[in-house]
Chains A and B, each alone.
Chain A
Amino acid sequence: MQETIRFILNDKPISVSVDSDRMLLWVLRTDLGLTGTKFGCGEGFCGACTVIINGEAVRSCQYPVKNVEGKKIMTIEGLAGNGRLHPLQQAFVEHDALQCGYCTPGMILTVYSLLLKNPSPTPRDILQGLEDNLCRCGAHTRIVQAVQTAASLMKGAVKR
């Protein structure tokens, strides 16, 4: 059904007029041109499409756009503020915690939400938190290191 949906996207209020049963992933990528959120599997198995909705990491390929009404969404494009990389992004760069980079936005946002809840994760917490995010290149070792660095950089404060 065609509806107008209002929400906050990367700190800006917006509204879209769409078939509200459509999945958020495609509205972000197609209607709104935010292509940093990736399609990987379409069934919620891989995490490439992860975005933050009200502080929670959500698989946008499984999330109907009608459910975002009135909520705050952050995509990877909204993480760096005023041209400055977020500590998580900085840590991914410093550790070379990526190869092809396709899973990276989903990885970073999943960790973002993990650190909101658990600012000082153990390596085990990190592994568990990322268990359902797939990376085919095998950047896993570096990603874990980057998350540890970011957590200590942020010293428990996830705000940028």
Chain B
Amino acid sequence: MKHDEHPDFMVDEIGPPSGLCRRDFLKLLGGGIIIVVSSGDAEAFFQERGRGPGAGYPSDFNAYLRIGEDGRVTCYTGKIEQGQGAITALPQMLAEELEVSAESVDMVMGDTDLCPWDMGTFGSQTIRSFGPALRAAAAEARAVLLELAAEKLQVPADRLEAKAGTVYDKSRPQAKVTYAQLAQGKKIERHVTPKPALKKPAEFKVMGKPFNRRDAKVKVTGEAKYAGDIRLPGMLYAKILRPPAHDAKLKSLDTSPAEKTSGVRVVRDGDLIAVLHEYPDVAEKALASIKVQYDRPEAEVDDKTIFDRLLKSSPEGKAVAQGGNLDEGAKIAALSFDETYLNSYVAHAAMETHTALAEVKGDKATVWASTQAPFRAKDEIAQVLGFPPQNVRLISPFVGGGFGGKTRNTQAVQAARLAKITGKPVQVAWTRADEFFYDTFRPAAIVKIKSGVSNSGQIVFWDYQVLFAGERSSQQFYNIPHHQTVVKGEWGGGASSAHPFDVGAWRAPGSNTNVFARESHIDIMAAKAGIDPVEFRMMNLNNKRMQRVIQAAAEKFGWTPAKAPSGRGVGVACADYVGTYLATMAEVEVRKDSGEVMVKRVVCSQDMGVAVNPEGATIQVEGCITMGLGYTLTEEIHFKGREILDLNFDTYHIPRFSWLPRIETVLLDSPELAPSGGGEPAIITIGAVVANAIYDATGARLMQLPMTPERVKSAIQSL
């Protein structure tokens, strides 16, 4: 199957719960009190993306919880846990509204037979969009429990109060009944479209409190199960024959050497050629013995010439923001700027490669897969196997890192095909080289910015064009009278054939590119105008939330104003990301002879509304900063034509312990604002903040990510 048939976020063809009908589904759960709620916020999410409500999103069914007869509460969600910490924060949201302890909540995640439909876990949406639905379900459950208690205790409901899983008569605290007692022998279903009467932040007891990860214990003992850890009797391990390049055509194939190994089975099914064995390493060795030749077209492009090709294949532009008149702006500018920013392709490189185990029995399939989008995987598998969707169950166990890469489910489809053909359960676990080949990459992209500054240091015009990174974070938030933002092409793979291989979502898609360009450019203007970069930003901002995060970062960092380059090696960058505001400051040391950059300290202040789990949010900021150093300093995919030259971590360099800066996080309390996401924002400023700090240290301006020692050295030498 071609990836293009499943572009990211293209949900129209993927329907609402295609499996069990709701009634069957709820029957499975047994007794207790079950609350089913629709998420109004899901509609807002789609409107934001230019899609009407109901565009494939189920309107009646996407969150629910059950209060069991033992008093334990189970939350069923199609969201998955990939390290981002939803498994800890979601129970907090539920517990808050239901008036139970977070510890009494069990999570069932990413199982398409047990959990309501969900689009997938990406885009920092879990807390922002799914959270409110879950809270509403919990608030409704509490209301039901109060009604039941009123009957039981023979007092009006308004005299009752719920606390820690028990309902009390406010005037007679000895008259009480627990949730477990209320759920006893009950089979109550409530379906509500909430007009949520949710708690106000001042009433929070569980949300906003730091909680340690709930999954830590099973992860430090090795008990935690990932897709590759599931075992079924008689299962085979498959290794896939990977062509040397995406455009290589099979010329000859001799699988007989592989078949000499006892127990090996070779499957050829169209484009899928696999070697299977009861041991994965034996399968891999047998695969290596296959004699195969390919025809390869001449390589037309590589990692150096790609930017010319992208410029030439630039798609139609779409103005996403406009104001004033750029010509007028140019007339009043005292200083004018015209710069181009580049970034290379980068890989997700999660430590767990794409993995799946599939079992096909008759016309039913069960697949355990490392996926961020279990429901999408289910539908893809059903389509490829020719099964009705309700006959496919997809379970996403713990995912060993996704970062957008596991929104594609190629490995799960491969496993399902092989299981159907062989009649045995089949595991497909990509090798690291497979991962670098079949994974999607963050697209190489280009940003062109023309701008002008007045004599008084005001930015007077801003003409911004982004090619191939997409819209997110492309719109500037400064107070600029004459401006235009044009987006040419999106980050998804389906939109363009300009890329030599498939591209897709990579942690905060589009934003890393856009923020690197914008915040580098702001600094270029500040330096030319002779104004401290923090002051320059403040004087060009009206946005109070943005000013507040910059001030907070400056205080923590101990920023002292100076014109850049000051020789100190300090930098600043700020951004917004789907409702979260942040400012980052960094200090770097640059070795001028080698071009090596050491990031010594990073301060990030973040305003994400209510931080549901401040501990979890802080960890995400630290993770973003550390991971962000990779695309900033070293990570780029090397390729020749459609052949990927990076096959493992010896040439593709991700951050290591020795790179570690001192990281300080400031979470700004914004109790009046709804919680927004934290898994992505802090990664998006790292490119610019380091580029700006390198400039401050050396006077050399880096226009391309990653800022490898060679590029830094060459920029310094050309001063």
Contact = CB atoms under 8 A, between A and B. Distances in A.
Contacts of B689: none
B292 to A, nearest CB: 20
Interface in A81-134: 85, 89, 92-94, 96, 98-105, 108, 126-128, 130-134
Contacts of A140: 626, 655, 657, 660
A93 to B, nearest CB: 4
Nearest to B351: A102
B275 to A, nearest CB: 15
Interface residues of A, number: 60
A41 interface: yes
B224 interface: yes
A59 interface: no
A34 B222 contact: yes
B222 A102 contact: no
A76 B649 CA distance: 24
Nearest to B349: A136
B260 interface: no
Contact of A39 (B429, B622, B650): B429
Interface residues of B, number: 58
A10 to B, nearest CB: 11
Nearest to A135: B351
B322 to A, nearest CB: 37
Given A85-B217, A134-B654, A100 B350 contact: yes
Nearest to B218: A101
Given A99-B84, A140-B655, A104 B623 contact: no
B622 A23 contact: no
Interface stretch (B33-41, B226-234, B386-394): B226-234
A109 B669 CA distance: 38
Given A26-B279, A80-B221, A101 B431 contact: no
B492 interface: no
Interface stretch (B147-155, B396-404, B442-450): B396-404
A26 B657 CA distance: 27
B351 A100 contact: yes
A46 B352 CA distance: 11
Nearest to B284: A42
A104 B219 contact: yes
B615 interface: yes
Nearest to B355: A39
A45 B648 contact: yes
Give the residue among B213, B226, B398, B655 with the most A Cβ atoms within 10 A.
B213
B281 interface: yes
B719 interface: no
Contacts of B432: 40-43
A98 B280 CA distance: 28
Contact of A30 (B84, B222, B279): B279
B657 A144 contact: yes
A33 to B, nearest CB: 7
Contacts of A29: 229
Contacts of B237: 30
Given A35-B228, A99-B619, A76 B215 contact: no
Contacts of A20: none
Contacts of A101: 83, 215-216, 219-220, 224, 398, 400
Nearest to B398: A101
B544 interface: no
Given A23-B281, A34-B222, A134 B656 contact: yes
B47 interface: no
A106 to B, nearest CB: 9
A100 B399 contact: yes
A36 B222 contact: yes
Interface in A39-69: 39-43, 45-46, 48
Contact of B83 (A19, A31, A132, A137): A137
Given A35-B225, A45-B648, A40 B351 contact: yes
Interface string B637-651: 000000000001110
Contact of B279 (A31, A35, A141): A31
A13 interface: no
B401 A136 contact: yes
Contacts of A25: 281
B704 to A, nearest CB: 23
B281 A96 contact: no
Given A98-B220, A100-B83, A138 B281 contact: no
Contact of B352 (A36, A85, A100, A144): A100
Contacts of A37: 222
B212 interface: yes
Contact of A138 (B212, B399, B627): B627
B627 A137 contact: yes
B223 interface: yes
B231 to A, nearest CB: 7
Contact of B401 (A92, A94, A102, A144): A102
B221 A100 contact: no
Nearest to B620: A99
A138 B221 contact: no
B553 interface: no
B658 A128 contact: yes
B574 interface: no
A143 to B, nearest CB: 8
A35 B222 contact: yes
B212 A93 contact: yes
Contact of B280 (A30, A33, A48, A139): A30
B624 interface: yes
Interface in B660-675: 660, 663
Interface in B34-87: 82-85
B282 interface: yes
Give the residue among B237, B280, B429, B657 with the most A Cβ atoms within 10 A.
B657
B626 A138 contact: yes
A85 B223 CA distance: 12
Contacts of B627: 136-138
A136 B350 contact: yes
B119 interface: no
A75 B625 CA distance: 31
B623 A131 contact: no
A142 interface: yes
B351 A48 contact: yes
A29 B231 CA distance: 10
Contacts of A3: none
Given A41-B648, A99-B84, A36 B223 contact: yes
Contacts of A46: 351, 649
Contacts of A126: 657
A22 B279 contact: yes
Contact of B212 (A35, A96, A127): A96
Contact of B213 (A30, A45, A98, A130): A98
Contact of B216 (A19, A77, A93, A138): A93
B110 to A, nearest CB: 14
Contacts of B85: 99
Given A41-B649, A100-B398, A132-B656, 20 more contacts: A31-B279, A36-B221, A36-B223, A38-B226, A39-B228, A42-B431, A76-B222, A98-B219, A99-B83, A99-B401, A101-B215, A102-B351, A103-B351, A127-B658, A128-B657, A130-B657, A134-B351, A134-B656, A136-B350, A137-B83
5 contacts: A39-B228, A80-B221, A101-B83, A101-B400, A102-B400
Closest 4 CB pairs of A and B: A36-B222, A100-B83, A138-B626, A101-B219
Interface of A: 19, 22-23, 25-26, 29-31, 33-43, 45-46, 48, 75-77, 79-80, 85, 89, 92-94, 96, 98-105, 108, 126-128, 130-144
